[in-house]
Amino acid sequence: MFKENDRSALMSTYARFPITILKGKGTYVWNEKNEAYLDFTSGIATCNLGHVPDQVTQKLHQQLDTLWHCSNLYDIPSQTKLAEGLTQHSIFNQAFFCNSGAEANEAALKIARKYAKDHGHPERTSVVSFKNSFHGRTYATLSVTGQEKVQIGYEPLMPGVRSLLFNEVADLGKIHNGKTAAVLLELVQGEGGVNLAQKEWLHSLQDICNKHDILLIVDEVQTGMGRTGTLFAYEQYGIEPDVMTLAKGLGSGFPIGAMLAKKYIAASFTPGTHGTTFGGNPLAATAGMATLTEMTKPGFMKDVRQKAAYFKEQLERLARQFSVIKKVKGLGFLMGIEVDMEAIKLVTLLQEQHVLTLTAGQQVLRILPPLTVTIEEINEFIQKLENVLLVIQEKDDLE
Ligand SMILES: *Cc1c(COP(=O)(O)O)cnc(C)c1O
């Protein structure tokens, strides 16, 4: 199924599909033979405005001719502007910029420990996270990831991490043990199977955090930047987290990550306590600001929600029609269909139809169209998915 080449100059950290992508525009990408693929992965929730979006491209071109890099020892106006934009459109007061989701979560974990120490709780060094979560591949972030496959071979892991059951009310009582500095979670688990946090459970979780001054950190690396139908997913849950991390969609594909916090927490990061060379560099910040500007234009998110509702309806229609689909789940354009087969087989069959999708765990097909997808493109996707499901059903009937 995968292209295997022992003589590759690349380390094989990825099992790559035998597809070469050379060009992209909007919801389509093209291979070396100039054949088009309908891309319902958005580079894993990254190209949320589609490939090579005009407005971001234009701003990046201007910046490319002006200044690429400047040390964080100097004032970087585009970075300040992005911080102002993100804080204006969220409940947070200050931002720290880095280059990836893992780094954003690292920054969040570091500030949580520092905050506890700064407030007279040096014993609070522990973090609670949840089963089936995904938070990144650095030592600290793989340690808080609730999936063994990410951790095997890298032990010993960061000490003090406790992994509880997602959406399990009975586990909430275990959060506060006098040592917990922070709770870290995804509001919709992306890699772990497109699992939505339950509202009531989340509110109880927040109450516990508030009561004991434990930081509530939401990892919106995948759910953020419009993916779930609002700029940030926490808005739909009616909660007020203390810290939020972003990356994937923030730069429309240009690498950038961010950790945002309420002012009293952000105060724990003082000069010299944290940093990174490339964090919020002029090109990255420009990509971020151009992306945010598009997403906060009047009517943009409303349009996304309407299209996403239509998409969900169509997926639910297929679920009624084909017994191989067990469940349709997700929020906005972070959608999954749980199937009664290996989801990777479905990904491969769709690739043969020139449609790109992802998995989330063994039995969930993860579908992440760009927010700019058109109704026609949604219809094309649904038609091709239906074709593939018909073939699967016919095979099943013969057996
Ligand atoms: C992708 C992802 C990360 C890691 O981001 P990288 O940029 O790959 O380091 C962290 N958390 C979530 C929820 C993600 O989806």
Q: Closest Cα partner for 105 from 145, 132, 146, 157? A: 145
Q: Which residues are known binding-site members for pyridoxal 5'-phosphate?
A: 101-102, 134, 219-222, 277
**Which atom of ligand 1 is found nearest the CA of 255?**
7
- Alpha carbon of 320 to those of 155, 316, 379: distances in Å? 45, 6, 17
Can you give the CATH number for the domain in which 99 is found? 3.40.640.10
Q: Closest Cα partner for 223 from 334, 306, 131? A: 334
For residue 6, what pLDDT is reported? 64
Query: Is residue 75 situated within a structural domain?
Result: yes
Strand partners, 196: 188
For residue 1, what pLDDT is reported? 44
- Distance CA(95)–CA(177), nearest Å, equals 30
Query: Is residue 2 situated within a structural domain?
Result: no
Q: Which residues are known binding-site members for N(2)-acetyl-L-ornithine?
A: 137, 276
- Distance CA(66)–CA(57), nearest Å, equals 14
Sheet holding 355-356, edge to edge: 23-25, 28-30, 36-39, 355-356
pLDDT tens digits, the chain, 399 residues: what are they?
444 556 789 999 999 999 999 999 999 999 999 999 999 999 999 999 999 999 999 999 999 999 999 999 999 999 999 999 999 999 999 999 999 999 999 999 999 999 999 999 999 999 999 999 999 999 999 999 999 999 999 999 999 999 999 999 999 999 999 999 999 999 999 999 999 999 999 999 999 999 999 999 999 999 999 999 999 999 999 999 999 999 999 999 999 999 999 999 999 999 999 999 999 999 999 999 999 999 999 999 999 999 999 999 999 999 999 999 999 999 999 999 999 999 999 999 999 999 999 999 999 999 999 999 999 999 999 999 999 999 999 988 887
For residue 5, what pLDDT is reported? 58
**Which atom of ligand 1 is found nearest the CA of 141?**
10
- Distance CA(4)–CA(141), nearest Å, equals 29
- Distance CA(27)–CA(43), nearest Å, equals 11
Q: What is the 3 state secondary structure string of the chain?
A: CCCCCCCCCCCCCCCCCCCCCCEEEECEEECCCCCEEEECCHHHHCCCCCECCHHHHHHHHHHHCCCCCCCCCCCCHHHHHHHHHHHHCCCCCEEEEECCHHHHHHHHHHHHHHHHHHCCCCCCCEEEEECCCCCCCCHHHHHHCCCHHHHCCCCCCCCCEEEECCCCHHHHHHCCCCCEEEEEECCEECCCCCEECCHHHHHHHHHHHHHHCCEEEEECCCCCCCCCCCCCCHHHHCCCCCEEEECHHHHECECCEEEEECHHHHCCCCCCCCCCCCCCCHHHHHHHHHHHHHHCCCCHHHHHHHHHHHHHHHHHHHHHHCCCEEEEEEECCEEEEEECCCHHHHHHHHHHCCEECEECCCCEEEECCCCCCCHHHHHHHHHHHHHHHHHHHHHHHHC
For residue 397, what pLDDT is reported? 83
Residue 261 sits in the same domain as residue 384: no
Query: Is residue 186 situated within a structural domain?
Result: yes
Sign of CA dihedral 218, 102, 138, 272: negative
Report CA(146)–ligand 1 centroid distance (Å). Answer: 13
**Which atom of ligand 1 is found nearest the CA of 99?**
7
Q: Closest Cα partner for 256 from 55, 102, 35? A: 102
Query: Is residue 1 situated within a structural domain?
Result: no
Residue 121 sits in the same domain as residue 193: yes
Looking at 295, 310, 344, the residue that finishes a domain is 295
Query: Is residue 8 situated within a structural domain?
Result: no
Cis omega before residue 18 (within 30°)? no
Residue 42 sits in the same domain as residue 83: no
Residue 69 sits in the same domain as residue 125: yes
Residue 93 sits in the same domain as residue 208: yes
Residue 306 sits in the same domain as residue 272: no
Residue 75 sits in the same domain as residue 190: yes
Q: Which residues are known binding-site members?
A: 101-102, 134, 137, 219-222, 276-277
Residue 343 sits in the same domain as residue 244: no
- Distance CA(78)–CA(286), nearest Å, equals 6
Residue 127 sits in the same domain as residue 202: yes
Statement: the pTM of the whole predicted model exceeds 0.85: yes
Residue 250 sits in the same domain as residue 376: no
Residue 142 sits in the same domain as residue 89: yes
Question: In terms of residue numbers, what domain contains 345?
Answer: 21-53+299-398
What is the four-CA torsion angle of 159, 198, 134, 261, rounded to 10 degrees? -70
Ligand 1 pocket, CB under 6 A: 100-102, 105, 134-136, 186, 190-191, 219, 221-222, 247-248
Report CA(212)–ligand 1 centroid distance (Å). Answer: 28
Query: Is residue 203 situated within a structural domain?
Result: yes
For residue 396, what pLDDT is reported? 83
Strands 355-356, 36-39: pairing kind:
parallel
- Distance CA(395)–CA(399), nearest Å, equals 6
- Distance CA(307)–CA(28), nearest Å, equals 18
Residue 182 sits in the same domain as residue 192: yes
